[in-house]
Amino acid sequence: MEISFAGKRALVTGAGKGIGRGTALALARCGAEVVAVTRTRADLDSLLLECPSIRPVCVDLGDWGATEEALREAGGNVDLLVNNAAYAMLQPFLEVTPDQFDISFNINVKAALHVSQIVARGMKARGTGGSIVNISSQASQCALRDHTVYCATKGALDMLTKVMALELGPYQIRVNSVNPTVVMTEMGRLGWSDPGKAKTMTSRIPLGRFAEVEDVVNSILFLLSDKSSMTNGVTLPVDGGFLAC
């Protein structure tokens, strides 16, 4: 199945590393004009070396005013949006601190809402529809030890996805989420390099392995494309069957 985004403009947050970077590069290869958003200048510089056609935007999405300013122009005329930026700080329930709670919800939920508002207003005004994909997690639907706040933010993001799908659908703006298991990004490989620790998770995945970045990117591309034109409000597990158990 060939997917082309020629003539489309895509915006990807958290585009400096991992899933976001893979998505930005894949969209560019499929012909899209890509706007890559991240807060780390070095990541943007290396991304541009790899794909000079990408338009970089360096901003901290946790800053509402700075985001509004940075995306005022770059966020216009966007057809495809991927809300990938996320923050994870693992704390046991009894040790959750107010600052970590606030930072997590600010990035994982509030920033996704804000960027989506900016982009969806433009989509609605143009009357051309569009597609938005929020990057959630299997942690939205399954409790994981020491993931109290992370699980809560991803559960909130899933419900935000559904409400967005409900309210934006009449404007032909589709909204879905992708919910991966552990993904073998650079961070994922570091965090799950211990075979014993990895076994505690892979033993619960029927396919017996973690996801690769490409596995998640392919699902994102499908949901962004017209191949999924009747798919709206879905939370799509990319988890090897973890949530089926």
- Active-site residue numbers? 150, 154
User: How far separated are the first and last CA of the chain, in Å rounded?
Assistant: 30
- Nearest alpha carbon to residue 233 among 131, 143, 151: 131
Amino acid code (one letter) for 212: E
Distances (CA, A) of 140 to 146, 159, 181: 14, 10, 11
Return the SS3 of 27: helix
Cβ 19 vs Cβ 221: under 8 Å: no
d(C-alpha 125, C-alpha 119), whole Å: 10
d(C-alpha 59, C-alpha 71), whole Å: 9
